[in-house]
Chain A
């Protein structure tokens, strides 16, 4: 290329030098962006000062003030600080998100499989479910479960009791729960040992399977060992826990564990809504497994369940991890809609504290930061799983 043109030692003029142009352009771009952000920051600081809010290093000192509001269904009292309130809020968010993710996954996979059932009625019922829940705003579903179901349940003295195990009323659903009556330390040690033993058994069964190819049944083995050791430990350490069932009184229930109506409504609504999206993902993933795989499974004589369990679902699962992890993120973010039914998750706590004269700018930035951390954590975990599940050497 250069051979044809006479070589020049002269460099191009600097305004035509690509490297100079690139650096200049980026510098101008950065200056514009940073300048805009500084402009906003400057205005914000000015406006905050006008209203008498601190803007310096003490901006977040408001978190040490007493909250001035109580959080229902928690030990939080209004004399505790706003920081403590936020921590309770984050805990409530996580409580909904974790259980919601588990329920939505189970329901979503079941419905996704049902959508491809050979049974016409099952297929149509699953399609009806998906099309119904996918096309209604999640906020409407949440309000429906709260206003239309949970608080319409009978009052406590007429609570519906199911086999003495559940007590359902408009003050929440009470389920049997463990109650601590003795020292739990000994049992805790037993539990640790049992868990370690279960892991060892799991590894042993896996290795044996790798060596001999005999069925490993590692789930049955290790869970069996775990339960057995736990039962022995429970008896030996003097039965430190008992199960209490709910007793319905005139104005309240005693015993058991109470799920507040707000929590139950949010959990059910988020699970149902997200399950409809997960079902679609699972269906798409199953359809994307080449049909030859199923036919081969049939040809070697696997049963329908075995085909699903060992051939189709593992391959479908692998492709569906990224979109499903997106749904987990959505569920976590949608838990902020608990605000509409006064479930005290972190958004509701922020809203109430702004109403209680916390500075809006700091409080909202903090809220966004908390959600970013939650989102990044979920993304990190699902990425780890994805990396482990991806076939090596295939991208």
Chain B
């Protein structure tokens, strides 16, 4: 942790070790052919990588029959969602772009001010490069969609995002604290645009839409439960502690698929007579929330442990009640420290949504499997094409998020000693 020392003289910059400028030739010699073993390894790995690149390139650009993906791109995106109502999803995308663009702009300007005032350090490169994997995904999706309409809409969505980004940079400083709330409100509005006002309930959602919805809904719902469980696990009440530990250890010791089975086969048994069991998507969300809240609890517990005991003692010395100590002193520090880990949990949740395919929900992976059984493509073994496409969609999303979370980690100065 960097501490600022106020002195009259500015601290002298520490001298950096001298850096040598290497010519390409020297660089190659040092980094690739340092010793005999190095040279052998370089040649072996060059051959291996060339072979992998050749196989992948040959498949993607020549052998693969992408028709199965091209003709089903809408299915893969939204599944059985009624096609007449697709405008709602585009409208939701506009709302999301506005909210996220605004939030990014406001946070960006806040960061820049902090850096200018010396309260923070710049971390890596910023700007559009950070969106690299997502842009790649959008380009590939548009390529498969081959639709002029979609292209225009995507450009319009990006324009709205950019516009609100500019607006976000002009947020008055005293309103900055409400920006996260505004972004959350935007996400909720986007949800209601699709689901309410005569819209389409989530039981009809599918494809990537369902994948993202399951992940977001599960993390939002499990966050408060997880925080409560973590607090309960550190409670001074033995009874509360035992119950929380039992819950956490039970759901962490069991595979997710067993919990999804429980949610699917057993919830009907749990309900009293006359109560209709919830729909399949709702059951999946319940299963994910049961599972994820146990993991969130363990993450938050780590954050709680990282708050120095002196903070709590100071709060007690000031006469704060236990509730206010937790609410005003402990939780803000603890939650700030665990943001990267929570993003990590969200990434694995995003990937784990693929498991509902086993239960029979039509999320991205299920659609990818089902379209290979369409009459036109039946028994042609197009699994590889669809699986590669699905892997690409998952990969871009979770690679982008993991890069952002590493960035956040560096920014918060965590993991630095």
Nearest neighbor of A375 in chain B, beta-carbon distance: B253
Kindly state the separation between the CA atoms of A329 and B249 in the bound complex, as whole angstroms.
13
Contact B270 A44 (CB under 8 A): yes
A382 interface hit (Cβ, 8 Å): no
Nearest neighbor of A284 in chain B, beta-carbon distance: B415
Kindly state the separation between the CA atoms of A47 and B270 in the bound complex, as whole angstroms.
8
Kindly state the separation between the CA atoms of A237 and B347 in the bound complex, as whole angstroms.
58
Kindly state the separation between the CA atoms of A18 and B269 in the bound complex, as whole angstroms.
41
Pick the residue among A147, A329, A339, A367 that contacts B358 (CB under 8 A). Answer: A339
Contact A137 B261 (CB under 8 A): no
Kindly state the separation between the CA atoms of A7 and B139 in the bound complex, as whole angstroms.
79
Contact B269 A140 (CB under 8 A): no
**Residue-by-residue, is B261-273 near A (CB-CB < 8 Å gives 1, otherwise 0)?**
1100110111111
A120 interface hit (Cβ, 8 Å): yes
Contact B45 A340 (CB under 8 A): no
- In the complex, which residues of chain A have a beta carbon less than 8 angstroms from the beta carbon of B381? 152
Contact A119 B269 (CB under 8 A): no
A135 interface hit (Cβ, 8 Å): yes
A221 interface hit (Cβ, 8 Å): no
Kindly state the separation between the CA atoms of A131 and B399 in the bound complex, as whole angstroms.
7
**Residue-by-residue, is B227-260 near A (CB-CB < 8 Å gives 1, otherwise 0)?**
0000000000111100100000010111111100
A119-B34, A347-B255 known; A26+B266 contact, CB < 8 A: no
A132 interface hit (Cβ, 8 Å): yes
- A-B pairs under 8 A by CB, number: 155
- In the complex, which residues of chain A have a beta carbon less than 8 angstroms from the beta carbon of B32? 119-121
**Residue-by-residue, is A373-386 near B (CB-CB < 8 Å gives 1, otherwise 0)?**
00110000000000
- In the complex, which residues of chain A have a beta carbon less than 8 angstroms from the beta carbon of B34? 118-119
**Closest beta carbon of chain B to A30's beta carbon, Å:** 5
- In the complex, which residues of chain B have a beta carbon less than 8 angstroms from the beta carbon of A351? 261
- In the complex, which residues of chain A have a beta carbon less than 8 angstroms from the beta carbon of B272? 43, 46
A30-B239, A125-B49, A143-B387 known; A371+B253 contact, CB < 8 A: yes
Pick the residue among A30, A140, A336 that contacts B387 (CB under 8 A). Answer: A140
**Closest beta carbon of chain B to A226's beta carbon, Å:** 31
**Closest beta carbon of chain B to A116's beta carbon, Å:** 13
Kindly state the separation between the CA atoms of A135 and B137 in the bound complex, as whole angstroms.
14
B313 interface hit (Cβ, 8 Å): no
- In the complex, which residues of chain B have a beta carbon less than 8 angstroms from the beta carbon of A118? 31, 34, 38
Q: Which of B17-51 contact A (CB under 8 A)?
A: 31-32, 34, 38, 41-42, 45-46, 48-49
- In the complex, which residues of chain B have a beta carbon less than 8 angstroms from the beta carbon of A121? 31-32, 41-42, 45-46, 49
Most B C-beta atoms less than 10 A away, residue of A25, A27, A336, A371: A336
Nearest neighbor of B239 in chain A, beta-carbon distance: A26
**Closest beta carbon of chain B to A95's beta carbon, Å:** 16
**Closest beta carbon of chain A to B109's beta carbon, Å:** 31
A77 interface hit (Cβ, 8 Å): no
A136 interface hit (Cβ, 8 Å): yes
A144-B387, A148-B383 known; A135+B257 contact, CB < 8 A: no
Nearest neighbor of B396 in chain A, beta-carbon distance: A135
**Closest beta carbon of chain B to A239's beta carbon, Å:** 40
**Closest beta carbon of chain B to A262's beta carbon, Å:** 15
Nearest neighbor of A125 in chain B, beta-carbon distance: B45
Interface size class of A (residues with CB under 8 A): 35 or more
B316 interface hit (Cβ, 8 Å): no
Contact B395 A136 (CB under 8 A): yes
B354 interface hit (Cβ, 8 Å): yes
Contact A26 B258 (CB under 8 A): no
Pick the residue among A30, A144, A337, A361 that contacts B391 (CB under 8 A). Answer: A144
Contact A347 B239 (CB under 8 A): no
**Closest beta carbon of chain A to B46's beta carbon, Å:** 6
Contact B256 A147 (CB under 8 A): no
Kindly state the separation between the CA atoms of A334 and B269 in the bound complex, as whole angstroms.
27
- In the complex, which residues of chain B have a beta carbon less than 8 angstroms from the beta carbon of A160? none
A33-B243, A337-B355, A364-B262 known; A122+B254 contact, CB < 8 A: no
**Closest beta carbon of chain A to B132's beta carbon, Å:** 13
Kindly state the separation between the CA atoms of A131 and B266 in the bound complex, as whole angstroms.
37
Kindly state the separation between the CA atoms of A143 and B358 in the bound complex, as whole angstroms.
12
A94 interface hit (Cβ, 8 Å): no
**Residue-by-residue, is B377-410 near A (CB-CB < 8 Å gives 1, otherwise 0)?**
0000101100100110011001100100000000
B365 interface hit (Cβ, 8 Å): yes
Kindly state the separation between the CA atoms of A367 and B260 in the bound complex, as whole angstroms.
12
B351 interface hit (Cβ, 8 Å): yes
Contact B269 A44 (CB under 8 A): yes
**Residue-by-residue, is A142-174 near B (CB-CB < 8 Å gives 1, otherwise 0)?**
011001100010000000000000000000000
Kindly state the separation between the CA atoms of A139 and B387 in the bound complex, as whole angstroms.
10
A296 interface hit (Cβ, 8 Å): no
A48 interface hit (Cβ, 8 Å): yes
**Closest beta carbon of chain B to A366's beta carbon, Å:** 10
**Closest beta carbon of chain A to B175's beta carbon, Å:** 36
Kindly state the separation between the CA atoms of A351 and B238 in the bound complex, as whole angstroms.
38
Most A C-beta atoms less than 10 A away, residue of B32, B48, B257, B272: B257
B87 interface hit (Cβ, 8 Å): no
A16 interface hit (Cβ, 8 Å): no
Most B C-beta atoms less than 10 A away, residue of A25, A131, A140, A361: A140
A137-B351, A339-B358 known; A334+B255 contact, CB < 8 A: yes
Kindly state the separation between the CA atoms of A117 and B35 in the bound complex, as whole angstroms.
13
List 30 A-B pairs, Cβ < 8 Å: A26-B238, A26-B240, A27-B239, A29-B239, A43-B269, A43-B270, A43-B273, A48-B269, A117-B41, A119-B31, A121-B31, A121-B41, A121-B45, A122-B42, A135-B347, A135-B399, A136-B351, A139-B355, A139-B358, A140-B354, A334-B255, A337-B358, A339-B257, A339-B358, A340-B357, A347-B258, A354-B265, A364-B266, A368-B258, A371-B258
Given contacts A29-B240, A364-B262, 18 further A-B contacts (CB under 8 A): A29-B237, A30-B239, A43-B269, A43-B272, A48-B269, A121-B42, A122-B45, A125-B45, A125-B48, A128-B49, A131-B399, A136-B351, A137-B365, A137-B394, A336-B255, A347-B261, A368-B250, A372-B254
Q: Which residues of B contact A (CB under 8 A)?
A: 31-32, 34, 38, 41-42, 45-46, 48-49, 237-240, 243, 250, 252-258, 261-262, 265-266, 268-273, 347, 351-352, 354-355, 357-358, 365, 369, 381, 383-384, 387, 390-391, 394-395, 398-399, 402
